[in-house]
Structure 1
Amino acid sequence: MILFYESEKLDDYLLELTEVNYSNPIIKKKADDLFNPSQTEIEKARIAFEFVRDEISHSWDKKSNRVTCKASDVLDFKEGICYAKSHLLAALLRSQGIPTGFCYQRLMLFDTPEKGYCIHALNAIFLKSLNKWIRVDARGNKEGIDAQFSIDEEKLAFPINKGLDEKEYPVIYAKPHPKIVAVLKENTNAIEMYKNHLPESL
């Protein structure tokens, strides 16, 4: 898939944002724990991805009501839905000067179109040493989901079924999409939000 950039300026993918608050002490401490100067950017990207994928629980998987949005809260509570997890991954990598954006898919919410659709979030990372963007999905693996860090062939959590009206949004956003931020701010129960209030399109 051909990806398009929301901004031509790589620096826009390094900005600190309300949701991507990498100056927060908890983010800085975790970055110090995860990274060291001897690591390459590819190693840092893999380490950050695997940390968020494996160590931060997906709220739906653990049946938690807590809604997180800011990267610092996602890290503090060690949970969030895919939107929140994408904010944390971006914060960790931007703290290391690695440009990181946000990508989205439209997926069936459950297993059939009749049960509705939702927007799913993942990340794009720019690797200067390879001069290319790669997409990764830190949603969290479980039975039937095996997302991996790959610099060659994408290994995302969900294959797209165009015949069932699923789709890729080809834009790499510099900021989390306003619809995504809004739903996290408007809801206080993650399970209820997941079932009934996730946006169906961007």
Structure 2
Amino acid sequence: MILTAEPSQDYLGLDTVIDGDHPQVAGLGAELRAAHRDDHEFARAAFEYVRDEVAHSFDVGDPRVSVTASETLENRVGLCFAKSHLLAALLRGQGIPAALCYQRLTDDGSSHVVHGLVAIKLDGRWHRQDPRGNTGGIDARFSVTGERLAWPVRPELGERDDPRLHATPLPSVITTLRSTDDILRLRNGGLPGDF
């Protein structure tokens, strides 16, 4: 898949959601960077931290709502979107361009949900990474030689990748996450269905 970046977007920018300047997020980024000076190794360490140390809300049945990078780090739990916000913030805070990406996926082909990922720019190329978390046969891994995402897209079921690289989260994602005080209520029909 060819990813399309918008030249006007700043993939190093921080904002109220990708809040890499928050003291705890910045501190974790600096700690990981101190242990991994090479950009590739730092990006891998940040990815593995978010994938493995921050639980996916649905996997662990945790109702807390995490939206921003700092909320996700504080709660140590979030949906794929929140985990992607944290990974992007860690990377951007340490000078590595990161974009938000999305997939449209389904369990049964009758209804679809948007899934959040991150693209990292290393050596002049973008590489999509999925920090969702591994469970139940999911085996997402950091890779710059070929995608190792949680789920491959199945076009025959109406699934598709969004080839655009987003500097900021989709408004529908933020609206959905902010619309509830129990993230588990979004499990059946509450998540955005398209991008």
- The bucket for the TM-score relative to the shorter chain is over 0.9
Residue in 2 aligned with 1:52?
50
Shift of 1:181: 1.0
Please show how residues 70-85 of structure 1 align to structure 2 within 5 Å.
70-85=68-83
Match for residue 3 of structure 1? Answer: 3
Gaps of 5+ in 1: none
d(CA) in 2 for partners of 1:131, 1:33: 25
Deviation per CA, 1:20-69: give whole Å up to 9, x if none.
11111111221222111861111111000000000000000001111100
Q: How does 1:84-163 map to 2 (within 5 A)?
A: 84-108=82-106, 111-114=107-110, 116-127=111-122, 130-163=123-156
Q: TM-score, normalised by structure 1?
A: 0.93
Q: Report whether the alignment pairs 1:199 with 2:195.
A: no
- 2:108 aligned partner, one-letter code: T
Q: Is structure 2 residue 65 aligned with structure 1 residue 67?
A: yes
Cα distance in 2 for partners of 1:132, 1:32 equals 24
Regions of 4+ moved over 3 Å: none
Q: How many residues align?
A: 195
Match of 1:39 in 2: 37
Matched position secondary structure for 1:196: coil
Q: Relative to 1, partners in 2 of residues 1:103 and 1:23: Cα closer, same or farther, differing over 3 Å?
A: same
Q: Which structure 2 residues correspond to residues 147-186 of structure 1 after superposition, within 5 A?
A: 147-186=140-179
CA distance in 2, matches of 1:59, 1:37: 29
SS at match of 1:27: helix
Distance, in Å, in 1 between the alignment partners of 2:161 and 2:30 is: 34
Change (3 A) 1:72 1:157: same
Deviates more, 1:30-39 or 1:57-66: 30-39
2:130 and 2:140 in contact (8 A); partners too:
yes
| C-alpha distance in structure 2 between counterparts of 1:16 and 1:151, whole Å | 24
The aligned amino acid for 2:31 is: D
Do the aligned partners of 2:101 and 2:164 also contact (CA within 8 Å) in 1?
yes
